[in-house]
Amino acid sequence: MKMAEIAVAIVDLNGCLIPDKGVKATNYFQGLEELSGLIEAANSGSYPKIAFCTGRERAFVRGFSQVVGYPDFYSIVESGYGLFNPATEEFVANPNLTEEMIKEFKLVCNEAIPLLLEKYPMLRRYVGNEIAEALDLIDGGQITIDDCFKTARILLAKPIARRLIYLTNTTQALDITPAVVNKETGMELFYRETGIDPKKTVGIGDSKGDLPMFKKVHFVGCPSGATQECKEAVRARDGHVSLFDHVQGCLDVIYHFMKA
């Protein structure tokens, strides 16, 4: 494989490139410095583009970019709510999402989320997103995010069936978005706005929430700390499961597919 065949690497952030709270990442700061060098090279045109695909909002991507450098390219924010270029501050909202959809989505969430928080006090409602909802698991003890996901599917069965919401989870959070918003539709918008050839993309994720993104990229990979479900999806696509965690694992995947 030659480097010219890859135009962009699209990387999930929380739990994938960035460790979750309380999780130790190997050689993390050295990896961030290395990633910063790749972003600088990408911005100069001497390396394929680096983009993020995250469930978090524009401000989160902007803040992380202050650490590693500002990729001058669109990233997918809030699991497909829109595209955001942290270097130019340009934002493109997902055109499939109407005001009526947003209104119905917020009504459903404002009814259901308090019930989930009552049942699982170890969940915390993330307050940064503009549209998407995220419930972070804080010291769940014997409770796993998969337990919370199963309960949420039951509680939200009607709005899911009516295609009002889309529910998925990462290793440490429940993600709830309007039904037309997920990382798959985010990738579709990404291709429309950038003109990137899907056959020249590599996607890097770590959990169930990244599987929709995997559907829309040509090559896939994951760090060592990815869920078993994610690793199986990567292997099924002849992708690369790194032996390294977090940023070092993401860099390893990028280098694996960039090899001359």
Domain ranges of the chain: 3-95+182-258, 99-178
Is the CB of residue 132 less than 8 Å from the CB of residue 140? Answer: no
* Phi (first) and psi of residue 5, to 5 degrees: -80, -10
Task: Convert the pLDDT of each residue in 68-101 to its tens digit.
Answer: 999 999 999 999 999 999 999 999 999 999 999 9
Q: Which CATH number fits domain 99-178: 2.40.340, 3.10.150, 3.90.1070, 1.10.10?
A: 3.90.1070
Task: Convert the pLDDT of each residue in 183-218 to its tens digit.
Answer: 999 999 999 999 999 999 999 999 999 999 999 999
Rounded Cα distance between 179 and 221, Å, is 26
Q: 201, 159, 169, 166: which is closest to 185 by C-alpha?
A: 166
Q: 164, 9, 166, 17: which is closest to 101 by C-alpha?
A: 164
Task: Calculate mean pLDDT across residues 152-173.
Answer: 93
Q: Which of 1-15, 175-189, 237-251 is predicted least confidently?
A: 1-15
**Residue 2: is its pLDDT beyond 60?**
no
> What confidence category does residue 4 fall into, taking pLDDT thresholds of 50, 70 and 90?
very low
**Residue 260: is its pLDDT beyond 60?**
no
> What confidence category does residue 5 fall into, taking pLDDT thresholds of 50, 70 and 90?
confident
Let me know the angle formed at the C-alpha of 65 by 23 and 138, rounded to the nearest 5 degrees: 30
* DSSP codes, 117-184: HHH-TTEEE----SS-EEEEE-S-TT--HHHHHHHHHHHTHHHHHTTSEEEEE-SSEEEEEETT-SHH
Q: Is residue 251 packed enough to be buried (19+ CB in 10 Å), middle (13-18) or exposed (0-12)?
A: buried
Q: 177, 172, 180: which is closest to 135 by C-alpha?
A: 172
Domain pair 3-95+182-258 / 99-178, same fold? no
pTM above 0.85, yes or no: yes
For the chain, what is the radius of gyration of the CA atoms? Answer: 18
Task: Convert the pLDDT of each residue in 26-60 to its tens digit.
Answer: 999 999 999 999 999 999 999 999 999 999 999 99
Which pLDDT score, from 0 to 100, does residue 142 have?
81
Which pLDDT score, from 0 to 100, does residue 230 have?
97
- Residues of the chain with pLDDT > 70, as a percent, come to 98
Task: Calculate mean pLDDT across residues 173-192.
Answer: 96
Q: 6, 10, 17, 1: which is closest to 250 by C-alpha?
A: 17
- The CATH code of domain 3-95+182-258 reads 3.40.50.1000
